[in-house]
Amino acid sequence: MTKADLVDKVTALGDLTRRDGEVIVDTLFEAVIGALKSGDKIEIRGFGSFRTRQRNARTGRNPKTGEKVEVPAKRVPFFKPSKELRDSVNPSGNKGQKSAHDGDTSHIDPHHPPAM
């Protein structure tokens, strides 16, 4: 799913123009990015949480030349899915198997989104 697909889903939920959908999706992304930049944790119940993790400095290796390269310490975004999201992706008795709906969102009723 792409950002354009998300905009289409948002506009399908109500009487919104494509521009309104773009503003909503952009605002959501900007809010998440801003919170992560500030070091805040974002928790969306029933979906998951976003936060940053600290990666220590390390010595890496250039795969082309084999030369050692110093990689500086940095913060990286991290997403932890909720139990509800994990369970919906892996229904009981179907762990590790593909779902009949993999990649297909047509079974989702836009007027009755899943409970969170």
Going 38 to 35 to 1 to 81, the CA torsion angle's sign is positive
Binning pLDDT at 50, 70 and 90, where does residue 116 land?
very low
Asked if 101 and 107 count as a contact pair (C-beta separation under 8 A), the reply is yes
Domain positions in the chain: 1-40, 43-92
Residue range 43-92 in CATH 3.90.1170.50: no
Cα–Cα distance, 51 to 28 (Å, whole number): 15
Is pTM, for the whole model, over 0.85? no
**Structure-token pair, residue 10:** 């948002």
Output 75 or 113, whichever has higher pLDDT.
Answer: 75
pLDDT tens string 14-51:
889 999 999 999 999 999 999 999 999 999 999 999 99
What residues does 20 pair with on adjacent strands?
none
pLDDT for 6: 94
Q: What is the mean pLDDT of residues 71-86?
A: 97
Contact (Cβ atoms closer than 8 angstroms) between residue 11 and residue 17: yes
Tell me the per-residue pLDDT of 44-74, one tens digit each, with 9 for 90 and over: 999 999 999 999 999 999 999 999 999 999 9
Res 15: pLDDT = 86
Tell me the CA distances in angstroms from 22 to 10, 26, 76, one per residue in order.
9, 6, 26
Sign of CA dihedral 42, 50, 40, 23: negative
Burial class (CB in 10 A: 0-12, 13-18, 19+), 56: exposed
